[in-house]
Amino acid sequence: MDLFLIKTKLKNEFPIVETAFEPHPQKAAVLVMLYPKHNTTHVLMTQRALHLNSHGGEIGFPGGVYEEDEDKNLLATAIRETHEEIGVQVESSNVIAQLPIVNTRLGFEITPFVSIFSETLEFKPEEDEVEEILEIPFTSLLATQQRDVGFSPEQDMVMYWFKHHRIWGASAKILRKIQHLSVY
């Protein structure tokens, strides 16, 4: 998938809209990071540390819960959490899209942001939070989409695979939002 093409589509379809919101302990934000590596578009995902009580071992995007005393908005949350988790300082000018909110079964509202980089990134994972950095060829990942049989057909849930890692739930919903851009 061409980074320039996806950047244009994301900016047009999902512009960043700064809206007022009520702080709440279940508001969160993540950052989807796309970048070139070996002439292929990659997406960064992490495996959460296995010892974590909440979602330990699951695959997701860098991000976390809005902190009222630290973050002026949800974009600031995504940027702060990305820096804390993987050691990458993202400038807000590199964030080009805001995907629709994803609601989780545990009641969280996740706002996904998308950032596109022109070069390969270097990561310094925070060992207390991140078990493994996953640099995934994006098109190959999207090709693994299948219905998640852990949910009823009416829920229309999908999952993806990278090696032995199952990507499901909110992360799969976010990937699906981007994936539909490649069909037109």
Q: What angle do CA 136, 38, 2 make, to 5 degrees?
A: 75
pLDDT tens digit sequence for 20-53:
777 777 899 999 999 999 999 999 999 988 776 6
Instruction: Indicate the CATH number for domain 3-15+24-183.
Output: 3.90.79.10
pLDDT at 184: 40
pLDDT tens digit sequence for 113-154:
999 999 888 999 998 889 999 999 999 999 998 887 777 777
